[in-house]
Structures are given as C-alpha cells and as structure tokens.
Chains A and B, each alone.
Chain A
Amino acid sequence: MEMRSNHAKLQVHSLTKHFGDLGVLVDVNLSVENGYFVSVLGPSGCGKTTFLRIVGGLESVDAGEIVIDGHPISGPGRDRSFVFQMDSLLPWRTVWENTVLGLEISGTVSDDKDRAMALLKLVGLSGFERYYPKQLSGGMRQRVNLARALAVNPEVLLMDEPFSALDAQTREVMQTELLRIWENGRKTALFVTHQIDEAVYLSDSVVIFARRPGRVQEIVRIDLPRPRPLSIKRTPHFIEYVDHIWKLIEKDVTAPSNVCG
C-alpha cells in the first residue's frame, strides 16, 4: 500500500464511519494506482458496501477523505460509476435506454451514441437493445448494468458484489466476461466481494477487510498473468493464493474479539 503515490488514481485517507454507535469503518487507508483491478474482500457485515458507497459519494463520512486524481470528492461524480448488487435497471426502460441513462443525465447521448453501441456489443448484448429488463436473465441484466456504468466513461469503476445474485455457473461466465471487458480499456476498478476465488481470479490486488470495526487487515498482491482463462483457477499458483487468503480470514473470523454479539 503506497500512500500518496504519484500515479494514484484513488486514495482513501483515514476513513472512519459510524452508524449510530456502530463503528463500521475505522481508519481505512488505501491507494489504488491507475489501471489496476482491486478487490475488497471480507465477510458480510464488515462494511464493504458502506466503504464502496462512500467512495461513490453516496454516503457521508465521519472523518477522512477520498481523493480521485488529486481532487477530494464531495458527492457522486462523473469520474466514478457504480454497478450495484441489487437489481438496478429501470424496468420501464429498454436495454438501450438503460445503457444511455447516464449519458442522458449528462446530456451527451448524441455525442456518445456510437460508444454506447460499441459497449453493448462488447458486453454481448447487440440485438437486445429493445428488450425490457423483465425479458432478460440475471446475467444479461448485470451486463446491461456494466454497460451503463462504462457508458459514462468513468475514471474509476465501482462494483458491489455484482454477481452475487447469479447461480454459480453464470457467475463464473460473468467473471471471465468482466475480465474480457475490463481488458478493453483497463479502467481502475474497485470490486467488492465475499468470495475468495472471485477476488483472486479478477484482481491485481486483494484488500482484505477485517470486521467489527471494518478496517484493512492485509493487502495481497496477485501475480497471475493476464489475460486469465477460467482454467487458471485450477493451477497450483491460484490455489495457493486462495489458501493463503483463507488462512488470513480464518484468523479474523475465529478470533474471540470478533464473535458476533
């Protein structure tokens, strides 16, 4: 974790957040370099969503600062976009209308139309422009969410367990798809998950969150070559990373001070 690095795209300084008496995040510090794919991994309830919402400017902080390209943020901004965990498509809009929602809001649909169309093609939804969300499978919906987030051409892509509602097979497909799409442009990405193998497979670095209160326990650099085929999950190197992270998390989960209650 290099603090205040020169090529830092995203910096988190001494972030602290409480909900009433509950300390959700305490003194979180992080720096993410431009073009890196970083996962935030932790058990549920450890504050991952809160953390990501704060970075997205959707939640206030008690103390600390989020800096993007050297500028502290003060709310949502066009430099970041979000892929949510919950179903987030506007049901009355078609695939195309959902994809260009952010462009409509910034008034740039006509300028960015070609790029949005290329994006729909990239996420594999050419030909589905006029479909409504109810006509799509869960995986297809998350593809649209991804296209919508990328359409505004953000500096940082924020994803909160985007595949957690999908079945195991679709989830693996979407992981490879996400990497394929991400390779095309390599935007700085912050990806929240509670699945170790997902974090290892996708990321350049995995930030392990400890819980109660949420804080950075450890950062594990993943030195696996890219592009990564799905079969990489069966290589000894990959399995070592997963084991290593398991042991780190196990310590936190089984430590007596962290027992629920």
Chain B
Amino acid sequence: MPTLPIDCTVNGAATHLDVAPRTILADALRQDLGLTGTHVGCAHGSCGACTILLDGAAVRSCLMLAVQAAGHAITTIEGLSNPDALTPLQAAFRKHGALQCGFCTPGMIVTAHALLSANPDADADTIRDMLSGNLCRCTGYISIIEAVLDARAAYQEARA
C-alpha cells in the first residue's frame, strides 16, 4: 500500500514520517527513526517491552498503527534519559540489580515513570498491579518492585 505522511512529536522534536498503514508504531520508531530502545518482544500485546508514552500515557506501541501517532506527542525510553547522569529510575534499577538481560527494562522504566509521575506515593501493591502488563523472564520481579519503590523519593521531591 502507498505510504501516508504523518507529523508528530517524538521526544520533544517535531518529526515527519511516511509510513505504510500496516506499520506498527514500534517498528516505525525502531526502523525509521533508529530509536531501538523500544523493544518488541511479542508484537501482539502480551509483554509490555514496547511501552511508550502517548501524550504522557503509557501504551503498547505494538498495538498502535504508526499513522495513529499523527498529531500526538510520543516519548520513548530515549526521551526519558539524559547523557549526563542516570535518572532516578535508572539509578534505582542499577542499585537493586533490577535487570539481567535488559530486554524488558525499557518497558518497565517507561511504565514505572508514567505511574510515579501520576502517583509518586504508589505502594508495592499498586506498583505490582501497574507493572502486571510487563513481563520479565529473568529477574523474578522482586528487585524491580524494590527499585520502583526506591525511585519514589525523587518523584515525591519533584512534586514538592
């Protein structure tokens, strides 16, 4: 099928893309924009590795067509890091050993960022519930929950 032109914002930058209707957003981010931090584990909505922010809300980028990003603001894991220092979530994941192979990590961090931005006081149960859509085959989750609990302090401070 012929491609369709779309304009959107990706990590703060105005971005133009020409995409085939069947291209999922995750593939457009990875292949057309080279933003390979967004991982594709299953490509059918089960694993959460492809989680991005769509106008600030955590969504699965394999369950969205790239054309549906037109007019919206996308933030990927690259947009949640900076070259100078680890972010609070990155530092907490490092401290707690909350990753082994790292495949699930971008999705975990994007989801946790959305959650803590909205609810910096989230308790362990809420964090477990909100991360239930992100699968990890390595860690057993405990270190991930501990890392997110630890990162709350920075989000509480940012709110204050």
B is a partner of A: no
Give chain A's interface residues, CB within 8 Å of chain B: none
